[in-house]
Structure formats: structure tokens, C-alpha cells
Amino acid sequence: MPSRHERRRLLVEGAVQGVGFRPFIYRLAAEIGIQGWVSNSAQGVLIEAEGPRARLDTFLAQIEVQKPPHSSIQRIVVETIPSTGISREVAFEIRTSCTAGNRTTIILPDLATCLDCLREIFDPTDRRYRYPFTNCTHCGPRYSIIEALPYDRPNTTMHAFVMCVQCRTEYENPLDRRFHAQPNACPNCGPQLSLWDATGREAAARNDALLVAAEAIRSGAVVALKGLGGFQLLANACDPDAVRRLRERKQRPDKPFAVMAPTIDQAKTICEISEEEEKLLVSSEAPIVLLPRRGHNLLCAEIAPDNPNIGVMLPYTPLHHLLMAELSFPIVATSGNLSGEPICSDEHEALTRLNGIADVFLVHNRPIARPVDDSVARVMAGSECILRRARGYAPLPVELSDALPVMIATGAHLKNTVAVSVGKQVFVSQHIGDLENPEAVSTFQHALKDLQGLYEQPPELVACDLHPDYRSTQLAQELAEQFGKPLIRVQHHYAHVLACMAEHQLAAPVLGVAWDGTGYGTDGTIWGGEFLSIGEASFARCVHLRPFRLPGGEQAIHEPRRAALGLLFELYGENLPDVPQLGFSPSELNILKWALVKKINAPLTSSMGRLFDAVSALIGLRQRASFEGQAAMDLEFACDGINTDRCYPIEMANVTTIEAPRGRMIDWSPVIEGILADLANGVNAGEIAATFHNSLLEMIICVATQQQIEQVVLSGGCFQNRRLLEGSIRRLQNAGFRPFWSQKIPSNDGGIALGQIAAAALTFRPLSMICGGKDVPGSSR
Ligand SMILES: [Zn+2]
Ligand SMILES: [Zn+2]
Ligand SMILES: [Zn+2]
């Protein structure tokens, strides 16, 4: 007996738009022999399917099994509805999008060029031969071109380009790879390249523009390239003069430049690449991957001075592939901005903002809806850890355990990102940058409006950092007033730990180890070496690093030697030992000592980042830093290849030695005394650096043992240090604890916005319902 006919409505939620989901459903329905239709909606993909019950069951099961490669299904909501009479529906059809209802669908990130498209652009017989804007449903721009939801061509920056007959035929054929590929284009109807001189005058067009740009790079020029999510500055990575020129013009003296290698094989001649790292390089996310460089390689030393690692990426758009095929040597590919500013994404703006930096501009006429930088990742403890989350990852959401009212979080001050929660999803924006200039603040405001605008829902709450002077805090205040909603101020390190808990769906109790450079504490001092005990509704600062003063305040970030002086002063008072390696002149030393004695412009800090700085300065690695974390990186790199179990003594100090808050402290003084003794005995810097790292691991074990909390979260910028992170994980596991660390969301301040959302959500739900105790099997790998 044939099974009974039924009609079902399916709502597929998740990352299901712009990945060929509807043609997949169309083909599957035809294959199984059911009628109905499929359409994009503001919540995902909507399907009505009618046919024998058994076939409908097969259909439903096969959706999960066969779904397109870049899609991800969060859930399928199924309801049985009255039959509409299948005789009127001769087959299955793809309908135009319905735009009604709350917007919850997931926007896909931009995807690197697929192999099929790559073949076409290098095939002289193909109509897309050498066409730099080739894409299909498996690859190409998404987030960087979407202006509104649902994801359909009129809602993208491609709306101005009218498809030619051939492109239109592909676009409308459900069996074609380009069926409803929204940015579909060809040389006849799509965007085109143009080469501009520094004044914006066109010097060449189309393929010639590409060839002239390649020649410019070859001859040592700096080329500004309008890429996928914004401008990149390109220069020959093997030419020291070209790289030096770029450094001078960009005002970036030492910070490493990322490099694009033409092929994975060439990348392997530059760096040591593990299997895991190779997978990441060739993935459709195609991030910059931090890799250990080989001893002798093509790159000039100016790429990453004093740094054993190189950030490497592979070409990820047809434009990059075509350019790299012309060059066949590695190039610098760094964000198109002046240091500290956000990435530039408009060609006319670029002429002004990159004026004096770029010699020529390789641009195109496909508008970029929002700036999306290249992402940066590092493989640590055997898995991918995102350090800068943008292209390829943003704005994929982190899913919480329970649906929550709409909330907005404005993040921190450095490496800012913003977040918006809609239902169970928390959408974390792409990396915005440091909110230290008007351009960054305007990008920040744009990103907030943008995320909110895509989902078109006003917030019930606004969350921000506790720091009263952060620009992000002030802007959050304005937003809260504008919406007439409460403002929740979240302590910085609490947000660090909650971000990691949200990522791993980890319930309390948790011991949070939050180590970073700077964060405003509940007592108004600068925190950064924190052990937080996380409970259901709040946190306690159970242990922290013994505080010390930073003479000159902010200036200490640029001069690690000032942190060293602050430590020595705390230890020895005015009669501190002679430390010529810090390089202070007698008058500088007098002024700084005076500031410390008088406690004027010498704020207290318990910052682990500053302890790293101090040690780096003491052992003579770095006295002045040109970017945040530079001295700490030196210290990490100094340990390379050194295996030692040696450790300076660790003491829990229960005393209040200065006007620090009462409570338990980890005392660094035996560590510093040990280092000074080692220095006096001529122990080399590498050995001291490794011993210092071991001492930090000991600190973590010491506090974890004292607190007896099984789940330990390692968060904050310090854990971008591979030796520290991997060592902590190993030691904690060996001692029977379960360590967790940030992977999908950066452990640095790029993760703060997510943590702020989780903290603000406590207004509505207990923590267990926000980060609800999902057991994470990957935690003990
Ligand atoms: Zn493709
Ligand atoms: Zn066309
Ligand atoms: Zn931080």
C-alpha cells in the first residue's frame, strides 16, 4: 500500500544562503520525486514539500546528509500543513525570496576562490579566461558585498551590474554551478579593473591594468590593491628597498608584514608548515597563518625584524591568483591603511588616505559594502586559534544555549570588535582596529549600525567596558540613551573569561586565568594578571599578580624598561640596584624615581603583559617597543629551542605590601630576584626567558590547586604566546584539570564584545542557561 500523502513546511536555519542551498534542495526534491517549492527567507531557507510520507522522510534525512560544503544547518523546524493539491504543482520550483519576519538568517563570510573557478580563469578557451571577478555558489564575496537581507543580488553591491544573457542563463539554471550565485559576472557584464596613478588618473584598464601593476611591484613600487574586503598594500617581499620604503611610508618601523606566496609549494620554501597549518592555508577561509620561517628563504629580513615567525597567506581571489601568477615571487600584502587606522575600502577615499604611501592604485568598480580585513590565525595546541577575526570568519555567530533579547556590545578599546545578539546567536563583527583615531571610530559606528541594520531589531540592552575613558564606553552611553535602554558595564577580564566560556558552552564554576596588558579593574586600578572565580551570577577576583607602579603611565606601554623600573622600585625602594641595560640617563632616572616616590602619574597595575615587558627589558631584549606586545614576543621567541625544567620560586603573598586591594596575591618578587641573580651569574637571555615562562606555568598550577576548580579558562592577549598557552594546557592536564582556551574568537581584546554580551545576558538568565554546560570533547586533546 502506498504511503499517505503529506505536505510539510521546513524552515532550515543556519548558514544556508549564498552556498547553493536552494539548487541543492531543488535537485534533491527532483531526485526523490516530491513536489513543492524552496525560497530564501529572512530566517533561512523555507521549503514546502508534498508527496508520500516515506519520501518526505527520506528528503528530510538527506538534507542533513548531502548539504552543500559551505553550508551549516543549525536546525530544521518541521510542521505538517494542509495539502494544497499537488496536481497544480507539476514539479519542484525555486521561488523568489520572501522578506517578511524577523531577520535571523546567518550571513556567510567571503570564501576563497574554488578550484573550478580557478581552472576557468587560467583556461584560454573559457569565456572567463583571466577575468578577476569570477565566482560561483561555492566561492567569492558574500559579507563584503551584502547591503541587506535576504542575500539576493538586488541587496548586494552587484545590483548595478546587469547580467548578460549568458550569465543570466547560468544564474537561472538550477543545475548550473552559478545558479543564484549573487555576484555572478563575466568580462562582458561584470566589474572591471583599472590602474590609477597617485592622482586617480586611469593609466591602464582591464588585463593591462593587472600587468602594469605587476610590473610596478617587480620594479620596487608600492601598489595599493582594492581586494575583496578592502585595500592591501603590496610590495616585492624579496626586495629590501621596497619593503623599507613601505615601512617608512606606512609609519610602521618593526611590526611584521604579512606575506602572500603564489603557491603552497613556495610557501613551504619560506616556512615550516605542518599538516594542520597547510589545511588552514588552503581552506576557503584562507587566513594569514603565523608560521616558523626557515633559515634560508626568499624573503628579505625587513619583512619581520627579530621575529622567527612569518604571517603567510595564499591568493584567495581570482585577482590575487592572476597577479601572483604574473609575479611568481612572494609579496608583502598588508592592510591598506596608515598604522593604527582601519582598512580603507573605497577607491576614492584610498587616493586621500593612502596618498604618499602607494605609488599606483589597482582598483575596480565593484563596491565594498563594509571593510573586512584579512584574518590572522596560529595553530596552537594542535588546533587553529584565530588571533584576528575578519575575512572568512566574520560574521559567523557564536551560538548560546538559550534565545535572548537583542543586545549590543561595544567591545574594548584596542583590536575592537562589536557584537549583536539575536535569538541564540551572537554576531561578532569583523576586526575594526584600535579606536584611537576618527577613522576607526567612524568604522566602529558603521559596523554597529551595520550589524544591527542587517537584523533590523532595536536592542533591549547595551553593554560596554568598565573603563570610563574608552571611546567604546562613551559611544555605548550615547546608544543606551538613544534607545532609552539600560547600560551594563562589564569588567574587562570577566569579559575575557566569559567570551571563552561562551565559545565552548562552558558552565560555571570556572577558574578564569585572564592575562593581558591592560584592563580597568573594579577598584579603578589597571588589572591584567587576574585569576577570577566565575560563579552563576558574578565573579570574584580570587588571586591576582602583586601590583607595581608604572612610571609615566601610558608611556610604559611604549617603553618596557619603565615597567622594569616600576618592579625594581617596588622591590627595593629608592635604593634600587644599578641596571645599565635599561639605558636610562641619570636625569631620566631621577624624574621617574621622583614619579614613583610621589606616586604621580605612576598608576598601579597587576598586569601580566607589563610583567612580560619588564622581564624583557631586564634581560636586555627590548627597552622600547613600537607596537603592543612586541617585548613579550621577544621573550617568547628568546626561548626557542630551549628545553629546561628550571623555575623561579613562586610564592602566594597574603600580605598587603602597597596600597593594593586586600586579597591574595601571587608575588613576582622571587622571580625577579632569581632573574637578577641569573644575570649576575651570566646566564643567557634564552635560558632566563624559558625559566620565566616555566614560573608562569607554576603560578597557574599553584592557584588552580589552591582554588580546586576543575575547569580552567585561559584567556587574554598573553595567551597568544604559544609557549605559554601550550605549556599551561599541558601542565593543567597533567595535574588533572580541564583547560579551555579561545579558538574561534580571539583571546585578545577582539573577543571582549562577545564576553560583554554574555555578561549582559545575566540580566535575563543565569549563566548556566547562557553557556549551558555542553561537554566539550576537544578540551582534553
Ligand atoms: Zn567558484
Ligand atoms: Zn556576463
Ligand atoms: Zn584585554
CA–CA separation, 499 and 215 (whole Å): 46
Say which ligand is closest to the CA of 115: 1
Nearest to 429 by CA among 419, 444, 441, 416: 419
Please give the pLDDT value at position 358: 97
Residues 6+ apart with CB under 8 A from 591: none
- On the question of pLDDT at 12 being above 80, the answer is yes
Say which ligand is closest to the CA of 131: 2
Say which ligand is closest to the CA of 720: 3
Ligand 1 centre to CA of 552 (Å) is 54
- Report DSSP state, residue 91: S
Please give the pLDDT value at position 781: 29
Ligand 2 centre to CA of 135 (Å) is 12
Contact (Cβ atoms closer than 8 angstroms) between residue 532 and residue 588? no
Ligand 3 centre to CA of 33 (Å) is 55
Average pLDDT, the chain: 92
Pairing of strands 288-292, 309-313: antiparallel
Q: Which residue has the higher pLDDT, 114 or 104?
A: 114
Got the DSSP string for 322-339? HHHHHH-S-EEEEESSST
Ligand 3 centre to CA of 496 (Å) is 7
CA–CA separation, 262 and 267 (whole Å): 8
- On the question of pLDDT at 552 being above 70, the answer is yes
Mind listing the pLDDT tens digit for each residue in 688-722? 999 999 999 999 999 999 999 999 999 999 999 99
Instruction: Quickly state the pLDDT bin for 40 (edges 50, 70, 90).
Output: confident
- Report DSSP state, residue 423: E
All three cell numbers of 461: 540592552
Say which ligand is closest to the CA of 416: 3
Say which ligand is closest to the CA of 117: 1
Ligand 1 centre to CA of 130 (Å) is 14
Please give the pLDDT value at position 71: 87
CA–CA separation, 257 and 391 (whole Å): 17
Ligand 2 centre to CA of 319 (Å) is 17
Ligand 3 centre to CA of 411 (Å) is 10
Residue 50 bridge partners (DSSP): 7, 35
Across 647-663, average pLDDT: 65
Residue 105 phi/psi, 5-degree rounding, is -65, 155
Across 49-60, average pLDDT: 93
Ligand 1 centre to CA of 208 (Å) is 24
CA–CA separation, 218 and 238 (whole Å): 10
Please give the pLDDT value at position 100: 60
Q: Integer distance in angstroms from the first to the last C-alpha of the chain?
A: 52
Cα separations (Å) of 401 from 105, 428, 439, 503, 507? 17, 17, 36, 11, 10
Please give the pLDDT value at position 219: 97
- On the question of pLDDT at 1 being above 50, the answer is no
Say which ligand is closest to the CA of 114: 1
Residue 77 CB coordination number (10 Å): 12
Cα separations (Å) of 307 from 86, 191, 290, 716? 67, 40, 11, 22
Ligand 3 centre to CA of 140 (Å) is 33
User: In the chain, pLDDT over 70 holds for what percent of residues?
Assistant: 95
Across 284-290, average pLDDT: 97
Ligand 1 centre to CA of 262 (Å) is 19
Which residues are placed with Cβ below 5 angstroms of ligand 1, an ion? 114, 117, 136, 138-139
Residue 89 CB coordination number (10 Å): 15
Question: Is the Cα torsion angle 257, 262, 263, 265 positive or negative in sign?
Answer: negative
Say whether the peptide bond before residue 23 is cis (omega within 30 degrees of 0): no
Nearest to 539 by CA among 504, 505, 501: 501
Mind listing the pLDDT tens digit for each residue in 234-261? 999 999 999 999 999 999 999 999 999 9
- On the question of pLDDT at 83 being above 80, the answer is yes
Ligand 1 centre to CA of 117 (Å) is 4
CA–CA separation, 361 and 536 (whole Å): 54
Mind listing the pLDDT tens digit for each residue in 612-646? 999 999 999 999 999 889 999 999 999 999 999 99
Mind listing the pLDDT tens digit for each residue in 665-674? 899 999 999 9
Say which ligand is closest to the CA of 119: 1
Q: Say what the alpha-carbon torsion angle 489, 491, 496, 502 is, to the nearest 10 degrees.
A: -50
Determine which of 181-190, 233-242, 338-347, 765-774 has the lowest per-residue pLDDT on average.
765-774
Contact (Cβ atoms closer than 8 angstroms) between residue 492 and residue 691? no
Please give the pLDDT value at position 777: 39
Ligand 2 centre to CA of 314 (Å) is 27
Please give the pLDDT value at position 2: 54
CA–CA separation, 210 and 217 (whole Å): 11
Instruction: Quickly state the pLDDT bin for 85 (edges 50, 70, 90).
Output: low
Mind listing the pLDDT tens digit for each residue in 344-356? 999 999 999 999 9
CA–CA separation, 290 and 269 (whole Å): 15
- On the question of pLDDT at 660 being above 70, the answer is no
CA–CA separation, 109 and 18 (whole Å): 10
Ligand 3 centre to CA of 515 (Å) is 7
CA–CA separation, 727 and 734 (whole Å): 11
Please give the pLDDT value at position 651: 80
Say whether the peptide bond before residue 371 is cis (omega within 30 degrees of 0): no
Question: Is the Cα torsion angle 511, 516, 521, 525 positive or negative in sign?
Answer: positive
State which H helix or E strand residue 617 sits in.
helix 608-618
Ligand 1 centre to CA of 347 (Å) is 26
Chain centroid, CA 471 distance in Å: 21
Ligand 3 centre to CA of 309 (Å) is 23
Residue 177 CB coordination number (10 Å): 18
Ligand 1 centre to CA of 155 (Å) is 20
Please give the pLDDT value at position 780: 34
State which H helix or E strand residue 115 sits in.
helix 115-121
Say which ligand is closest to the CA of 167: 2
- On the question of pLDDT at 779 being above 60, the answer is no
Ligand 3 centre to CA of 233 (Å) is 29
Please give the pLDDT value at position 512: 98
- On the question of pLDDT at 583 being above 80, the answer is yes
Ligand 2 centre to CA of 186 (Å) is 4
Across 554-571, average pLDDT: 95
Instruction: Quickly state the pLDDT bin for 775 (edges 50, 70, 90).
Output: very low
Instruction: Quickly state the pLDDT bin for 276 (edges 50, 70, 90).
Output: very high
Please give the pLDDT value at position 316: 98
- On the question of pLDDT at 96 being above 80, the answer is no
- On the question of pLDDT at 659 being above 80, the answer is no
Residues 6+ apart with CB under 8 A from 500: 506, 512, 713, 714, 715, 740, 741, 742, 745, 747, 751, 755
Say which ligand is closest to the CA of 412: 3
Cα separations (Å) of 600 from 118, 334, 591, 594? 62, 40, 11, 8
CA–CA separation, 544 and 529 (whole Å): 6
Ligand 3 centre to CA of 628 (Å) is 12
Which residues are placed with Cβ below 5 angstroms of ligand 2, an ion? 164, 167, 186, 188-189
Say which ligand is closest to the CA of 752: 3
pTM for this model (two decimals) = 0.91
Across 33-56, average pLDDT: 90
Ligand 2 centre to CA of 162 (Å) is 8
Across 171-177, average pLDDT: 88
Contact (Cβ atoms closer than 8 angstroms) between residue 146 and residue 377? no
Across 283-310, average pLDDT: 94
Residue 650 CB coordination number (10 Å): 20
Instruction: Quickly state the pLDDT bin for 200 (edges 50, 70, 90).
Output: very high
Q: Say what the alpha-carbon torsion angle 338, 342, 346, 352 is, to the nearest 10 degrees.
A: -30
CA–CA separation, 259 and 250 (whole Å): 16
Ligand 2 centre to CA of 21 (Å) is 22
Please give the pLDDT value at position 72: 87
Buried b / exposed e along 151-162 (16+ C-beta atoms within 10 A): bbbebbbbeebe
CA–CA separation, 372 and 370 (whole Å): 6
Nearest to 21 by CA among 40, 43, 2, 35: 40
CA–CA separation, 556 and 213 (whole Å): 42
Say which ligand is closest to the CA of 750: 3
CA–CA separation, 158 and 71 (whole Å): 22
Say which ligand is closest to the CA of 136: 1
* Residue type, position 36, single letter: G
Say which ligand is closest to the CA of 137: 1
Please give the pLDDT value at position 296: 85
Residue 77 bridge partners (DSSP): 11
Strand blocks (E) in 579-648:
604-605
Ligand 1 centre to CA of 107 (Å) is 18
Contact (Cβ atoms closer than 8 angstroms) between residue 238 and residue 331? no
Nearest to 663 by CA among 520, 533, 565: 533
CA–CA separation, 144 and 368 (whole Å): 6
Ligand 3 centre to CA of 538 (Å) is 18
Instruction: Quickly state the pLDDT bin for 339 (edges 50, 70, 90).
Output: confident
